[in-house]
């Protein structure tokens, strides 16, 4: 399924005319780098759980990965997290230059909505998908979470602040990936609710294991700089609740995520496995 996703992404980046070659090359470099493709997989597997066809859901899968890839490129810029390594290779602005990396993000964001608007049918499905993705990627969620994280301006105690940043910066894109997959498969309300409960827990498992990898992972395997959160005094689950409690929380959340999929039976087995794989990952 991952190969199919990569082919679908490449097809949708194939700018035959009009796009400056260097920009096209940088967009391909950023998107097709060896990431995990978690968000497209979530979209496709959510569709499958609802009895949908993955080809019908592929535009949604590509759109969420375009937004995700843009957010990584921009996050790595000197004005933000200032990173040299991403997905095991030089970050986009290191490989190309800063202006190109900014434009890559801009173009990928526009392309995400173009894919949804032109490839999903009927029109009200396309509109609903565009609205859901715009909200998740916008000023209250992904961008707002990033702004508060950079400025340290989230409100509340440490745990509240951590959860507020996580909810907007990470969980929103995970949840919308699942939602778009389900929408394109014509999910009913009960299916949507079950997938939402799964997605909330999946997002937390993703965040806590990401924090654990930053605290304890090996840079070569993780494919990005590690130890940076602790060095910058950022709030993470291991620093707030400790490593052991983080691991216990992860186990509990995986069980809850898997249990939330009970209404689906066998069709949701790949989603159950994906939640388990998150815990055992090393990147």
Question: Applying CB under 6 A, which residues contact ligand GRG?
Answer: 35-36, 38, 68, 71-72, 74-75, 87, 142-143, 146, 169-170, 210
Residue 167 per-residue DSSP state: I
Of the pair 38, 63, the CB lying nearest ligand GRG is at 38
Give residue for tokens 């060095």: 231
Of the pair 179, 210, the CB lying nearest ligand GRG is at 210
Of the pair 93, 191, the CB lying nearest ligand GRG is at 93
* Shortest CB 124 distance to ligand GRG, Å: 28
* Shortest CB 73 distance to ligand GRG, Å: 8
* Shortest CB 105 distance to ligand GRG, Å: 7
Of the pair 192, 283, the CB lying nearest ligand GRG is at 283
Of the pair 48, 167, the CB lying nearest ligand GRG is at 167
Helix (H, G, I), strand (E, B) or coil at 217: coil
Displacement of CA 148 from its chain's centroid (Å): 18
How far apart CA 261 and CA 257 sit, in angstroms, is 7
**Burial per residue of 126-164, b for 16 or more beta-carbon CB atoms within 10 angstroms, e otherwise:** bebbbebbbebbeeebbebbbebbeeeebeeeeeebbbb
Collect all residues with Cβ–Cβ distance below 8 Å to 161 and sequence separation of at least 6: 154, 155, 235
* Shortest CB 22 distance to ligand GRG, Å: 22
* Shortest CB 104 distance to ligand GRG, Å: 12
64 near 180, Cβ under 8 Å? yes
* Shortest CB 16 distance to ligand GRG, Å: 26
Collect all residues with Cβ–Cβ distance below 8 Å to 201 and sequence separation of at least 6: 253, 254, 256, 257, 260, 275
Helix (H, G, I), strand (E, B) or coil at 265: helix
* Shortest CB 18 distance to ligand GRG, Å: 26
Of the pair 39, 126, the CB lying nearest ligand GRG is at 39
Residue with the shortest CB distance to ligand GRG: 35
Name the nearest CA neighbour of 182 among 197, 169, 170, 168: 197
Of the pair 142, 187, the CB lying nearest ligand GRG is at 142
Displacement of CA 230 from its chain's centroid (Å): 22
Cis before residue 96, ω within 30 degrees of 0? no
């Amino acid at each position: 399924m991952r190969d199919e996703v990569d082919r679908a992404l490449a097809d949708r980046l194939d700018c035959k005319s009009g796009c400056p070659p260097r920009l096209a090359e940088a967009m391909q470099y950023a998107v097709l780098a060896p990431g995990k493709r978690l968000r497209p997989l979530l979209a496709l597997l959510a569709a499958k759980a609802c009895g949908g066809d993955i080809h019908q859901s592929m535009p949604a899968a590509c759109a969420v990965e375009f937004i995700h890839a843009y957010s990584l490129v921009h996050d790595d810029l000197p004005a933000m997290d200032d990173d040299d390594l991403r997905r095991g290779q030089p970050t986009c602005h290191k490989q190309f230059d800063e202006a190109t990396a900014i434009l890559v993000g801009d173009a990928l964001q526009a392309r995400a909505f173009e894919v949804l608007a032109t490839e999903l049918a009927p029109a009200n499905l396309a509109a609903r998908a565009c609205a859901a993705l715009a909200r998740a990627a916008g000023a209250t969620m992904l961008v707002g979470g990033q702004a508060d994280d950079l400025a340290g301006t989230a409100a509340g105690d440490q745990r509240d602040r951590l959860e507020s940043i996580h909810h907007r910066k990470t969980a929103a894109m995970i949840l919308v990936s699942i939602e778009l997959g389900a929408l394109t498969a014509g999910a009913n309300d009960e299916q949507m609710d079950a997938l939402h409960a799964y997605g909330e827990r999946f997002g937390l498992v993703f965040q806590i294991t990401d924090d654990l990898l930053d605290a304890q992972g090996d840079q070569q395997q993780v494919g990005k700089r590690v130890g940076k959160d602790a060095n910058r005094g950022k709030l993470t689950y291991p620093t707030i609740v400790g490593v052991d409690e983080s691991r216990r929380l992860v186990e509990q959340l995986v069980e809850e995520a898997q249990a939330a999929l009970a209404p689906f039976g066998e069709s949701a087995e790949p989603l159950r496995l994906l939640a388990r794989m998150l815990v055992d990952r090393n990147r």
